[in-house]
């Protein structure tokens, strides 16, 4: 499993690519919706995250944990035991 910091960096880089912002300018506390990410981009982001982590995620996870900080925290604490190698 990745560390929280690794997940944060990965998410910042992915969001930066979509928003054309610099990764270091994306706050972990800014809601995904405030960054202008629509549902198609979010679903793609979750699919990419699943592949990167090697686990299965519900597509609504970004609505339940709507910031990079909340999502990364959930992934390293609550979701840790549900990883599927693949």
- Residue-level pLDDT at 83: 47
Query: Domain span at residue 29?
Result: 4-82
Q: What percent of the chain has pLDDT over 70?
A: 92
Q: What is the count of structural domains for the chain?
A: 1
User: What is the model's pTM?
Assistant: 0.89
Q: How far apart are CA 10 and CA 1, in angstroms?
A: 13
CATH code, 49: 1.10.1200.10
Residue range 29-44: mean pLDDT, rounded: 95
């Amino acid at each position: 499993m990745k560390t929280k910091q690794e997940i944060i960096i990965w998410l910042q880089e992915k969001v930066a690519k979509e928003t054309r912002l610099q990764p270091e300018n994306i706050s972990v506390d800014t809601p995904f919706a405030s960054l202008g990410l629509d549902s198609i981009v979010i679903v793609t982001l979750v699919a990419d995250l699943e592949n990167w982590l090697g686990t299965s995620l519900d597509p609504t996870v970004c609505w339940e944990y709507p910031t990079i900080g909340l999502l990364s925290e959930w992934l390293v604490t609550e979701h840790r035991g549900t990883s599927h190698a693949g």
